[in-house]
Chains A and B, each alone.
Chain A
Amino acid sequence: MTNEGVAISAQAVSKVFGTAPNEMRALDAVSVDIRRNEFFTLLGPSGCGKTTLLRMIAGFEAPTEGAILLEGADITAEPPFKRPVNTVFQSYALFPHLTVSENIAFGLEMLGRSKAETETAVREMLALVRMEEMSGRLPAQLSGGQQQRVALARALAPRPSVLLLDEPLSALDLKLRQQMQIELKRMQRDTGITFIFVTHDQEEALTMSDRIGVMNGGKILQVGSPQEIYNRPVNRFVASFIGESNFLDAEVVESGRPARVKLAGGVEMAADYLEGETPSGKVTVTVRPEQIVLDPAGGAEGLAGKVTNTLYFGTDLYCYIDLGGGTELVARTPASAGGEGLHKVGDAVNIGFAPGALRIVGG
Chain B
Amino acid sequence: MTRKPPEPGVLEARLEATRVKRNWLLSLPALVLLLVGASGPLLIVLVYSFMEPGDYSGVVWKPTFDAWVQIFFSRDIFDDTLGLADAHLTIFWRSVRLSLLTTLITIAFGLPTAYFIATRPGRARVFWLFLITIPFWTNLLVRTFAILEMIRSEGLINTWLQNLGLISEPLQIMYTDTAVLIGMAYVYLPLMVLPLYAAIERFDFRLVEAGYDLYANRWQVLRRVILPIVKPGIVAGSILVFVPSLGAYVTPRVLGGGKNMMIGNFIELQFGQGRNWPLGSSLSILLLLIVMVALLFYVRVSTRESER
Contacts and interface: CB of A to CB of B under 8 A. Distances in A.
User: A and B bound?
Assistant: yes
Interface of A: 58-60, 79-82, 85-87, 89, 91, 93-97, 106-107, 110-111, 138, 154-155, 158
A262 B51 CA distance: 114
A60 B209 CA distance: 8
A344 B159 CA distance: 97
Contacts of A94: 210
B308 A110 contact: no
The 9 closest A-B pairs by CB, nearest first: A107-B214, A93-B210, A110-B215, A80-B212, A93-B206, A110-B216, A97-B228, A81-B215, A87-B213
A110 B308 CA distance: 23
A355 B216 CA distance: 57
Size bracket of the B interface:
10 to 19
B90 interface: no
Contacts of A154: 214
Contact of A158 (B204, B210, B214, B220): B214
Contacts of A79: 212, 217
A57 B20 CA distance: 61
23 contacts: A60-B212, A79-B217, A80-B209, A81-B212, A81-B213, A87-B210, A89-B206, A89-B209, A91-B204, A91-B206, A93-B207, A95-B211, A96-B207, A97-B228, A97-B229, A97-B308, A106-B211, A106-B214, A107-B214, A110-B216, A110-B224, A111-B215, A158-B215
A111 B211 CA distance: 12
Contacts of A111: 215
B229 A81 contact: no
Given A95-B207, A97-B229, A58 B308 contact: no
Contacts of B211: 95, 106
Given A91-B204, A95-B229, 13 more contacts: A59-B213, A60-B209, A79-B217, A81-B212, A81-B214, A81-B215, A89-B210, A93-B204, A96-B207, A106-B216, A110-B215, A110-B220, A155-B214
Interface string B191-224: 0000000000000101101111111110010001
Contacts of A85: 213
Interface of B: 204, 206-207, 209-217, 220, 224-225, 228-229, 308
A86 B210 CA distance: 9
Nearest to B307: A138
Contact of A81 (B207, B217, B224): B217
Contacts of A138: 308
Contacts of A110: 214-216, 220, 224
Nearest to B208: A93
A335 to B, nearest CB: 47
A97 B211 CA distance: 13
B56 to A, nearest CB: 59
Nearest to A82: B215
A104 B77 CA distance: 69
Contact of B209 (A93, A106, A158): A93
Contacts of B220: 110
Contacts of A93: 204, 206-207, 209-210
A134 B207 CA distance: 21
A91 B206 CA distance: 8
A142 B304 CA distance: 19
A86 B212 contact: no
A91 B225 CA distance: 16
Contacts of A158: 214-215
A114 B22 CA distance: 64
A81 B216 contact: yes
A89 B209 CA distance: 9
Nearest to A90: B206
Nearest to B221: A81
Nearest to B214: A107
Contact of A95 (B210, B212, B217): B210
B16 to A, nearest CB: 32
A107 B224 CA distance: 11
Nearest to B215: A110
Nearest to B227: A97
Contacts of A81: 212-217
A166 B195 CA distance: 34
Contacts of A91: 204, 206
A336 B29 CA distance: 80
A245 B251 CA distance: 79
A138 B209 CA distance: 20
Contacts of B206: 89, 91, 93
B141 to A, nearest CB: 42
Contacts of A82: 215
Contacts of B212: 59-60, 79-81
A111 B216 CA distance: 8
B225 A95 contact: yes
Nearest to B225: A95
Nearest to A164: B213
Contacts of A80: 209, 212-213
A96 B211 CA distance: 12
Contacts of B229: 95-97
B213 A58 contact: yes
